[in-house]
Chain A
Amino acid sequence: MKKRKHSIVVIDDEESMRDSCRMILEKDGFLTETAENGSSGLTKVEKIRPDLVLIDLKMPGISGLDVLEKVKKIDSNIIPIVITGYATIESAVEAMKRGAYDILHKPFTPGELRLIIKRGLDRIKLFREAESLRNEKKMIEENFITMVSHQLRSPLVAITQYFEVILGGIAGEVAPRQKDMLVKARTRLNSLLELINDWLDIARMDGGSIVDKLKIVSLEDLINKQVEFLKPYAKKNKVTLSLSSISGSDKALGDSDSLEQVFSNLIRNAIKYNKADGTIKVLIKEEEDYITTEIKDTGIGIREEHIPYLFNQFYRVSRSEDKKQKGSGLGLTIAKKIVDAHNGSIQVTSKPGKGSVFTVQLPKAYNTIT
């Protein structure tokens, strides 16, 4: 950090005090301003934003203790040191209570003044170091997503791009057996990309960035969109998917991008873990302060002992019948994090062999909020 001159404001009604403090401090290379009473002192503090303020407790006009409090209000980083001629335990305690960093007893020697100022400035230094460490940490955290995207994704994307070239026959003919292997390799690469995406989603959720983006969202529109989008996937799995009923208001308070992801993850799961000729019914209903959405499937269900862990990261129910099911194992974790960030809830009930119901409750939007 660049070294700069520290600034100090001395507030004291005694002229000789002000002058001697100024002499000592300027000699030591501090930018020094003085004021003869509380109000003009505060004006100077406001203007200069000094590192340190020396305040005489006993002054006409605003009392030193009030000045002290006001200095803390102007900038809590300023170090206030109280000068007092009637050092009693009571006044010292009171000053410390109101935020004084230290107390200097009159009369004091230049050495005492220097020592106390040095201690105050050391504290500022420590504080600034801590702050810059905090900022650095924050920057690393904020850039982490960007970094991961670039450093981890870029090579994968480049590799996959070559696969597109080769599998597209652009770089010459590929023998069927080779093509078969390359297609499998590409599938694995795509799941790896998906895993990184999901993981980044979680990192972003933990940053808590969605809370300030809440708006009125029509769950009917939002879920309809997801249902339409996922119908081809459902059909491929021989599953019937529909938004089957809506009762009452469908207006929730939420961030539509994140909520799309919640319902997309839940519906995808319902398709993935369904049985051939199964159905998925989505219901939306108004319930007191919440809009409740239920996603009912007729799938393989989840055994009770798995339910408490279902929303944990990388938890995947191991069952012989769904060995073929692959996913990052993060879909439900993401859904829960998003719903939690909305102050909502997500629950599941299930009967093995019969199916599961995932219930999402989101805060209802009232018309007064726009």
Chain B
Amino acid sequence: MENSKAKIMIIDDDPDFRDAVTSILQSALYEVVTAPNPEEGKKKILKEKPDLILLDIMMDSLFDGFSLCNAIKTSKEFSSVKNTPVIFVSAVKEMTGSRFQFKGEDQGLSSPDDYIDKPVKPDDLFSRIERLLKK
């Protein structure tokens, strides 16, 4: 796959965060689609079939991101896109120290392919995306 043309989807409820990260990704020539909440995210994932998803963990509820990630990886509805890599993007990990790390796994939810803290550093974000797209 030609990495510079990969389609990245940002699902995050903060419009400014989406805007800023869209700029970052576009500067590296990625195609970007965004969704402001999990519901719209679900529809767009199936329609747009992105190459990678940046998913905010905590939107309306604390576990929005966890359950959407789990749905993508395990539910029938998303079987056509279940191999799409998911990166969790959140400020939560920092907030609670390392304690918060993937507590979803304890509850039997699928884990994401990677994890990045907000605010994201452009270089860090690119290297994580590239690594997953190469897989």
Could you tell me which A residues sit within 8 Å of B by CB distance?
A: 145-146, 149-150, 153-154, 157-165, 168, 170-171, 193, 196-197, 200-201, 204, 257-258, 260-261
Known: A164-B24, A170-B23. A154 touches B14 (CB 8 A): yes
Contact B17 A158 (CB under 8 A): yes
Interface-located stretch among B44-52, B79-87, B90-98, B127-135: B90-98
A-B contact pairs, 5 of them (CB 8 A): A161-B17, A162-B20, A164-B121, A197-B94, A260-B97
A348 to B14, CA, bound (A): 44
A164 to B19, CA, bound (A): 12
Minimum CB–CB distance for A187 against chain B, Å: 13
Q: Is the interface of B mostly helix, strand, loop or mixed?
A: helix
Contact A149 B95 (CB under 8 A): yes
Contact B58 A150 (CB under 8 A): yes
Minimum CB–CB distance for B12 against chain A, Å: 10
Which residues of chain A come closer than 8 Å to B62, judged between CB atoms? 146
User: 1/0 contact trace for B87-121 toward A, CB 8 Å?
Assistant: 00001101111110000000000000000001111
Apart from A154-B17, A261-B97: 18 A-B pairs, beta carbons within 8 A: A146-B58, A146-B62, A153-B95, A154-B91, A159-B16, A161-B21, A162-B16, A163-B119, A164-B20, A164-B24, A164-B122, A165-B20, A168-B122, A170-B27, A171-B23, A193-B94, A200-B96, A201-B97
Q: Which residue of B has the minimal Cβ distance to A260? A: B98
Q: Which residue of A has the minimal Cβ distance to B26? A: A170
Q: Which residue of A has the minimal Cβ distance to B25? A: A170
Contact A161 B118 (CB under 8 A): yes
Known: A168-B24, A170-B27. A161 touches B95 (CB 8 A): no
Which residues of chain A come closer than 8 Å to B91, judged between CB atoms? 149, 153-154, 157
Which residues of chain A come closer than 8 Å to B94, judged between CB atoms? 193, 197
Known: A201-B97, A204-B96, A261-B97. A170 touches B24 (CB 8 A): yes
Contact B17 A257 (CB under 8 A): no
Which residues of chain A come closer than 8 Å to B120, judged between CB atoms? 161, 164
Contact B97 A161 (CB under 8 A): no
Which residues of chain A come closer than 8 Å to B98, judged between CB atoms? 257, 260
Which residues of chain B come closer than 8 Å to A261, judged between CB atoms? 97
Which A-B residue pairs are the 3 nearest by beta carbons?
A158-B16, A161-B20, A160-B119
Q: Which residue of A has the minimal Cβ distance to B117? A: A157
Which of A150, A162, A171, A260 has the most chain B CB atoms inside 10 A of its CB?
A150
A258 to B100, CA, bound (A): 12
User: 1/0 contact trace for B36-54 toward A, CB 8 Å?
Assistant: 0000000000000000000
Which residues of chain B come closer than 8 Å to A170, judged between CB atoms? 23-24, 27, 122
Which residues of chain A come closer than 8 Å to B99, judged between CB atoms? 257-258
Q: Which residue of B has the minimal Cβ distance to A334? A: B97
Of the candidates B16, B27, B96, which one forms a contact with A161 in the assembled complex, judged by CB atoms under 8 Å apart? B16
A283 to B28, CA, bound (A): 48
Which residues of chain A come closer than 8 Å to B23, judged between CB atoms? 165, 170-171
Contact A200 B17 (CB under 8 A): no
Which of A158, A163, A200, A257 has the most chain B CB atoms inside 10 A of its CB?
A158
Minimum CB–CB distance for B51 against chain A, Å: 21
Which residues of chain A come closer than 8 Å to B16, judged between CB atoms? 158-159, 161-162
Which residues of chain B come closer than 8 Å to A257, judged between CB atoms? 97-99
Which of B21, B91, B98 has the most chain A CB atoms inside 10 A of its CB?
B91
Which residues of chain B come closer than 8 Å to A159, judged between CB atoms? 16
Contact A197 B95 (CB under 8 A): yes
A1 to B128, CA, bound (A): 51
Of the candidates A158, A196, A197, A260, which one forms a contact with B20 in the assembled complex, judged by CB atoms under 8 Å apart? A158
